[in-house]
Amino acid sequence: MANQQRTGKKPWGGRFTEATDELVEAFTESISFDARLYRQDIQGSIAHSQMLAKIGVLSDQEAADIEQGLLRIQEQIEADTFTWLTELEDVHMNIEARLTEDIGDAGKKLHTGRSRNDQVATDIRLYMREASDQVVQLIQQLQLALVTLADNEVDTIMPGFTHLQVAQPISLAHHLLAWNEMLERDVERVIDCRKRINVMPLGSAALAGTSFALDRDLTCELLGFDRPTRNSLDAVSDRDFLIEFASAASLAMMHLSRMCEELILWASESYKFIEIGDAFCTGSSIMPQKKNPDIAEIVRGKSARVIGNLHALLVLMKSQPLAYNRDNQEDKEPIFDTVDTLLASLQVFAAMIPSIRFNRDRMYQAALKGYATATDLAEYLVRLHVPFRDAHEIVGNTVHYAIEQNKPLSDLSLNELQSFGPMIQDDVYDVLTLEGSINSRAHFGGTAPARVREALDAARTRLQTD
């Protein structure tokens, strides 16, 4: 009889007189994707059974039988000997039916005081809590790779860009630390999101709670949640914590995409700023000379996928009335894909970073070509009490002349410079060199090497503390 239950009879079938249509079976099943929640489902069920024993709904022996039975099921699933039945719809019913088949009536008592609504909401929160911790760990591994790479590039000068035009000279390490700042905010967002994930819906039942005097605080403690949810309707029906995580993941992938875009540009023949290790590039099937930065391109492409998942979750939730609706079955695939894509992208990106080699001379020459010290000349004039707008015009005329002469500003003679600004003196050459320019930006957050070293030390300290 127990085996018949598992191979056909629905746990909710008492109300119905007709079998479920095969098309409906295939259309509504979720076991093909929610089976990955088996560990969380078993973890939640063990805690629930222990709580039921404490309040007298189960005997201690029944709770022990349930726990041992669930652990046996987990072993079977992990050994790939467990048979998933699509007619049992989802991970929850498959596990419960197999438990009842294994231990008998005690298995039928496990669902006392709960619904699949609060059960799945608890499972997904347990899953997302673990996923959040993995994301934080991998982002910090990437940060460490960037900080390590930057450590040798404090004195490497490269052009800083605006509008993809050479703007001002900067330290390469300063640029890499800008990437690190993006990632640090991503970590903060995920950690903050985790606070709202780590709230326990179990005990809310279908929507209104239950008449059993559940000890939700005990279940909460057993599962490591910060607190139980305060409202049973909200607990089972909202997925804003998934949307919030998907938003944080989208921002992280957007940051990775921006980094990838720069790496792709820097690796191109037009820039030749970097060489990415062969292990992280591929060739062309027709052009023997090609070395393509495929990993950076694929990560850049996968950002669109994660951002699309965020939109899917937002649209999924936007019109749902309280409380639970079956629509929420559709939250699993986009959030699972988001977690998988983000984790994989972070892992491969962190592995690629140490393979990068910089062409320091090429970067230096590129910074020389774009009149990157023009702002320094303007600021020099301001220090001589020239109003900034007048200084801006003087330097603009000077740059125009230098372009006509095909000279960098530092190669103009003092007489040539004074023809545009008579107040200019010999000390102007201290600010017209690339080194003089970056050394002058010695305020907090600036690109002066001394400040960049401080920023590196601070970043490393924060990572070690975390």
HSE on the CB side for 244, CA within 13 Å?
19
**Rg, Å, the chain Cα set:** 31
268's CB contacts (< 8 A; 6+ apart) are none
Q: Which of 163, 211, 319, 413 is catalytic?
A: 163
Distance CA 107, CA 51 (A): 15
Task: Answer yes or no: 284 catalytic.
Answer: yes
Q: Which of 32, 59, 268, 284 is catalytic?
A: 284
Task: Answer yes or no: 163 catalytic.
Answer: yes
Q: Find, among 50, 225, 222, the residue nearest to 124 by Cα.
A: 225
- Do 160 and 167 form a contact (C-beta atoms < 8 A)? yes
The pair of three-digit structure tokens given for residue 224, joined into one six-digit string: 């490591």
Distance CA 465, CA 459 (A): 10
Distance CA 252, CA 51 (A): 39
Distance CA 457, CA 463 (A): 10
Instruction: Give catalytic residues, as residue numbers.
Output: 163, 284
